[in-house]
Chains A and B, each alone.
Chain A
Amino acid sequence: MTKRKLALAAATLVIAAAAAVLALGTSPGSAKTASAFKAAWIYVGPHNDGGWSQAHDAGRLAVQNALGSKVQTTYKENIAVGSQFDQTVSSLRSQGYKLIFATSYGYVTPAIAAKYPDVKFEQATGTLVAKNVSEYFGAAEDTIYLSGMAAGAAAKCNTIGYVVAYPIPEVIRHANAFALGAQLTHPGIKVRLVWTNSWYDPPKEKRAAQSLHGAGACALGQNVDSPSTGQYAQSVGIPWVGYDSDASKFAPKSWLTASVYNWGEYYLKRVEAAMSGTWKPGFYYGTIADGFTKLAPYGPNVSAKTKGLIAAKQKVLAVNRGAEFTGPLYDQSGKLRIPAGKKMSVNQLYAMSWLVKGVIGSPKG
């Protein structure tokens, strides 16, 4: 019995000692680079997802490289909307990160913004502008339209498959732009959608690609974050248009092109503004002319003729953002939604809840 008590006492002592070491040694945050300005990025998926989050991380690294030791940047990946975002912000704040780029919609709510008044939030793709919240995004629909032209030209049959995340206006607008582009180079072509209800879910995206191919698609495109659609496309030998990042290395034979983002310039501007104390909340909508959105390098299956067509269209869009959404535009049922000559406004694009003629699928998921 005494032996056991001794063992218990020893164990308790060890734990107590460990706790004491931990408790006494606590210091708020790390001591290194105390003078550096701290900025953090929050991602919905892994920082190296080959798509959306990777493009943002490239932007973060651009800031780090440009400002060197004057800034300290970090990221948090796979962060869920809600309590986990709150936890992450709280811990970042206690480590001195007062500028946070939340790179997906739904992270920053009015309640979160009010809970952390001393933190400057920047949120991608949203609309909540507040005292300490800025919103930023850009006309990816223009470059997605151009990438749709490449898909339409490369498709050898009458259906393209498009793997899509959530049935929300952002994705609906992108799917519409893709379809309009494809119809320009391949009149009458249909774009069939499969929703995954996730930004990043490689197995689900692959299954979606599989079912689209099974339903007769002879080219694939995507508005989700991983390159698994492309890997599937290459395995069945059909062309593929990616999204967000240059993911050609995942399926070099199938790769056509992709609409990609250059977040770095915006990030640099905002970090510098925060450092100099001139940061103000706002709403930024980048364009082709800004260099915010562009096409990734072409793969081997894009013909010279298609490249020429795309280049010509790109010039038009560079001076006339959103020109592809000029009427007449018809919805799936054939109803005229945008009359001839009218161009949709950014607010209209942000709330677009209908799919254009020639898209097969429901805008409700």
Chain B
Amino acid sequence: MSRSLAQYWLLWRAALGFTRAFSPRLLLLLAVFTTLVSTGIAAISASSAAWLSWALCTPAGFLLLAWSLGYLPGALKLNTPANAQLVPGLRRRLVELTLLVWLLGIGVLGAGMLVTTKAPGPGLWLAAFLTLGVAGMTSGIRIAWLIYLPLLAGVVLHQRLPRPLLLAVDGLLGSHLALALLAPLGALTTLAIFPQAGKRHWDMLAKQAGSSAFGARTVLDQEPGRFSWDGLLLRRALAQRRPGPLLMRALGRSLPAAAANGLAFAALGIGAVIYLAQRGLLPGMTSYFAQLSWVTISGVLLVFVFQAGMAPAWLARTTGEQALVRLAPAFPAGAAGFNELLARAQLRQSLTIWLMASSAALMLGLASGMEGSALWQQAGVCCMTLPTLALALRDHARSSVWPIFGMWAIAFALSYIGPMVGIAAYAAFGLPFWPVALITAFALTAVLVVKRLRLMRAAPIAFPAGRLN
């Protein structure tokens, strides 16, 4: 291996190592598995070229995911002002590696798209601007949101552009243009996110500490505004002195408050797009939304599934706070009482978020024109995610923190058990899908929650989490 490659490899591994809840090995396994499965299915069921498209696009997607969520936050931490200024070549290598990996991901993705479509433009532009936007926002560049403007303009103006221009943007010419334009844009962004010490670098670090979910030590670690939901709920918890809400406050900001903010944004965004599509302001997208609306709307449930999967990681981040809280006489001294209080508070919190996400999904369904059985089915989809409630309940003192991707995979797997049983029962015995799927989801939730509650009652005191691991 050449010296440059060895340095790139070293930096890649070092950067990934910074992100505690991110497991590169698990993601690699997942990428290989998903690529093989998707390529295999495409080879059997689709056209002869489709397998190649999947074989290229799937690993490229995983590479861009690892680049955005794993590598980049770590690389930003490596590029401290001292390292950038004093370690020979470190900043240059980081800039090169960041740009090369991004170009590789975008390039392979584009090549994969070109195999099956003559209009890879929109997908390619979307992937490129999204990843660059994430890079800019993560690093704390104040004007990074500007990167998203071309995307927004593209969505709004897509069908209004003159047809020749539209064909050029969507088609091969657009792809070549994209690669020609994106390489310098990517280089500029990369140079901007890895400054070489100086005032701008320190300002960026301050911004990262203040607002970045990756840089912050606790999740959703933002300023507690006086008029925010979080501030309001904190004042309510302090006034009422109820042990459960007070105990959850040791773990960080109120997750239901954060979920409410996220859901409000998601609902506004999706609702606006659906409204515009229904009014004919997004020509060509109405039929698209009519077909995919329940899938789009079910995306709101990800807020619940993701937070359920992240519960153990959140506990691992606040062990210092947990030690102080455990000494406080407001909470039970015994393990069983303390753990039961925590378990109930965690369940209440998760259920609140589930209720909010489900309500948002149903309201969006109503807004998009759903009625009758379609709405009931949307409610059924919400219920399928209920078994993930149990993920928050475990022997916190002894359990290790699983990588977030692993926990999310389990959360998704639990959400799919109901539908899978429903499909199997329908295929084998002709039983109706929804009743079987719903009964399975409810029964699984009850069994898992009761079992995990028993486990927590018998476990050592939960705080500080992970001390017996």
Q: Is chain B found bound to chain A in the same assembly?
A: no
Partner-A contacts on B (CB < 8 A): none
